[in-house]
């Protein structure tokens, strides 16, 4: 087996997704704890311990206690090399999460036992289904009162439209929670509430072993035996290939805050999760074990280090091996670039890497050369598709509140828009800049970051718009005619493409009827 194939077999790249507050960031931290990547788990919400969560490092995240940007973390565990992408759960940042899903091979969905499946989780699951991404479900907060595990499984099946198969099972719940029985490995894990330590596990050859009664009491032991019998009867036997095809989701139970059930999840994940998969490019399908390097930019982050105005482009490696100081081709600009300090991440701590393989994610210092979706290769002309910008739903004019800082404001807007936080449109009629976002919270984040990272002040002014859509036509005359008739509503995006700003659903519908030769697009990929 070549070194390349061996390295690729070790890789596991996945995203953790969920509704806000289901415990995603806590789970990420506990996984890092097992990987030896951090030594003490910081209580995310507690102000007594001045250690905020490792993966939330932007100032605004610490103030709000939510994740607003996807962070990337890598660690080694048990001979595997694991890359986690912790995504924001808040729906205002869904765009960042959709893009992250293009860069991972599998997904762990975290569900809060009390709240069950929530709106946001459903949307993300649609993206996974569309891409046939394998999914594992982790039901969190078992030490709190919540829904009956069987009801919860039914809800997951009907809401997320995926078949499930429990690989661990809880013994009681809430105050009476005693642990989980690990079906995947036939052992019993007993629960003692402790945030820093891992609980003991007992090997049990068979559920009818009297040792079970000694450990959890007769009543709970009997109930567990009944539940397990029911599970065997109702759910299909677990089959790794069906999981890899994205048709069945294994389910684990635990409490991330108390370190419980996380190791079982991680052990099973390493064994069954997919290694890096082939990626479709426009030209052909790219396999991870190919010799030639290729990768694409799925995210750009400005100012990871506030002292240096630097941007970092996150590149997912699709094939081959990436090496430091080697010339690679930037396909869109058709020029060669080499990188002297590519980095690997541990949230904000970065270390320079000499080589990285398919499945890994590297950060490349960016001085404005990259856009989201750009391809880097060892020389072949490849274009990776499938990283969309969605049509925004909220719009505001952005105005400069401090005329002395015009330069800083323009630079800030340009960099933040390249990150894909929001989209900027320049109105062709009056030259004013309009910012379009998917959620209200983004306006606050933009204003906050412009002030704190670029020293520029902006203020928002209302504008009444319904949708922004990209337009094109094969008939140049029809396009000119449309732009003339609708001149007050025409804008261009940051790449100079024509955008029509419709101020109501009715106006949009009429425009589509009156101008049959114009094509209207609601994502930027066409």
**Mean pLDDT in consecutive groups of 10 residues from the start of the chain, 526 residues:** 79 80 75 61 35 46 44 78 69 60 84 80 77 86 82 86 84 76 74 57 64 73 81 82 86 82 83 84 82 84 56 83 86 85 63 79 80 81 68 85 88 79 86 84 82 87 88 89 89 87 88 88 66
| pLDDT for the residue numbered 524 | 64
- Per the CB < 8 A criterion, the answer to whether 330 and 313 are in contact is no
- Per the CB < 8 A criterion, the answer to whether 273 and 10 are in contact is no
User: Per this entry, what is the length of the chain?
Assistant: 526
Q: Does domain 13-74+87-272 have CATH number 3.40.50.2000?
A: no
| pLDDT for the residue numbered 47 | 33
| pLDDT for the residue numbered 86 | 66
Superfamily of domain 279-377: P-loop containing nucleotide triphosphate hydrolases (3.40.50.300)
Q: What is the DSSP letter of 287?
A: P
518 CB-near residues (< 8 Å, 6+ apart)? 471, 472, 473, 478, 479, 482, 511, 512
| pLDDT for the residue numbered 258 | 77
Nearest to 393 by CA among 465, 446, 459: 465
Helical ranges in 11-68 per DSSP H: 24-34, 59-64
| pLDDT for the residue numbered 40 | 41
- The secondary element (H helix, E strand) that includes residue 221 is helix 218-234
The pTM of the full predicted model, rounded to 2 decimals, is 0.72
- Per the CB < 8 A criterion, the answer to whether 195 and 43 are in contact is yes
394-521 and 279-377 share a CATH fold? no
Architecture of the structural domain at 394-521 = 2-Layer Sandwich (3.30)
| pLDDT for the residue numbered 46 | 33
| pLDDT for the residue numbered 396 | 92
Report how far residue 426's alpha carbon sits from residue 472's, in angstroms, rounded to the nearest whole number.
Answer: 17
Report how far residue 66's alpha carbon sits from residue 380's, in angstroms, rounded to the nearest whole number.
Answer: 41
Question: Hey, where are the domains in the chain?
Answer: 13-74+87-272, 279-377, 394-521
| pLDDT for the residue numbered 35 | 66
Nearest to 224 by CA among 248, 200, 255, 253: 253
| pLDDT for the residue numbered 51 | 43
Beta strand 375-377 pairing with 321-323: unpaired
| pLDDT for the residue numbered 206 | 64
- Per the CB < 8 A criterion, the answer to whether 387 and 373 are in contact is yes
């Amino acid at each position: 087996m070549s070194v390349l194939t061996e390295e690729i077999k070790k890789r596991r790249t996945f995203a953790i997704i969920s509704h806000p507050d289901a415990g995603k960031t806590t789970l990420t931290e506990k996984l890092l704890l097992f990987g030896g990547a951090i030594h003490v788990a910081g209580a995310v919400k507690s102000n007594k311990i001045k250690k905020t969560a490792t993966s939330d490092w932007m100032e605004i995240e610490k103030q709000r206690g939510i994740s607003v940007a996807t962070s990337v973390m890598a660690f080694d565990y048990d001979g595997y090399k694991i890359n986690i992408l912790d995504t924001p759960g808040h729906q205002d940042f869904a765009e960042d999460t959709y893009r992250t899903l293009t860069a991972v091979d599998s997904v762990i969905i975290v569900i809060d036992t009390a709240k069950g499946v929530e709106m946001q989780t459903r949307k993300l699951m649609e993206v996974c289904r569309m891409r046939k991404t394998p999914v594992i479900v982790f039901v969190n907060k078992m030490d709190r009162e919540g829904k009956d595990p069987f009801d919860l499984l039914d809800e997951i099946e009907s809401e997320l439209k995926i078949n499930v198969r429990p690989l661990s099972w809880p013994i009681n719940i809430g105050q009476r929670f005693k642990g989980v029985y690990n079906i995947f490995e036939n052992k019993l894990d007993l629960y003692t509430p402790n945030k820093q330590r891992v609980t003991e596990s007992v090997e049990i050859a068979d559920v009818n072993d009297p040792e079970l009664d000694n450990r959890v009491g007769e009543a709970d032991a009997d109930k567990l035996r009944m539940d397990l019998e029911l599970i065997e009867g109702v759910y299909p036997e677990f089959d790794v290939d069906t999981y890899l095809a994205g048709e069945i989701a294994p389910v684990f139970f635990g409490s991330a805050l108390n370190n419980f059930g996380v190791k079982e999840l991680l052990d099973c994940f390493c064994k069954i999760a997919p290694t890096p998969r082939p990626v479709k490019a426009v030209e052909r399908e790219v396999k991870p074990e190919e010799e030639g390097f290729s990768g694409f930019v799925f995210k750009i982050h400005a100012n990871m280090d506030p002292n240096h105005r630097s941007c970092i482009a996150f590149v997912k490696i699709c094939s081959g091996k990436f090496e430091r100081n080697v010339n690679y081709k930037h396909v869109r600009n058709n020029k060669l670039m080499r990188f002297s300090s590519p980095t690997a991440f541990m949230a904000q701590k970065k270390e320079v890497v000499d080589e990285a393989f398919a499945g890994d994610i590297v950060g490349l210092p960016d001085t404005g050369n990259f856009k989201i979706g750009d391809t880097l290769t060892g020389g072949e002309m490849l274009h990776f598709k499938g990283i969309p910008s969605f049509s925004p739903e909220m719009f505001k004019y952005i105005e400069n509140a401090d005329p002395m800082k015009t330069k800083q404001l323009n630079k800030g807007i340009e960099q933040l828009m390249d990150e894909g936080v929001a989209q900027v449109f320049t109105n062709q009629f009056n030259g004013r800049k309009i910012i379009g976002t998917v959620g209200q919270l983004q306006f606050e984040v933009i204003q906050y970051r412009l002030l704190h990272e670029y020293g520029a002040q902006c203020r928002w002014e209302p504008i009444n718009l319904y949708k922004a859509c990209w337009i094109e036509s094969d008939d140049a005359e029809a396009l000119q005619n449309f732009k003339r008739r609708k001149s007050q509503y025409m804008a261009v995006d940051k790449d100079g493409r024509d955008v029509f700003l419709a101020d109501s659903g009715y106006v949009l519908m009429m425009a589509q009827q009156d101008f049959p030769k114009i094509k209207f697009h609601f994502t930027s990929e066409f």
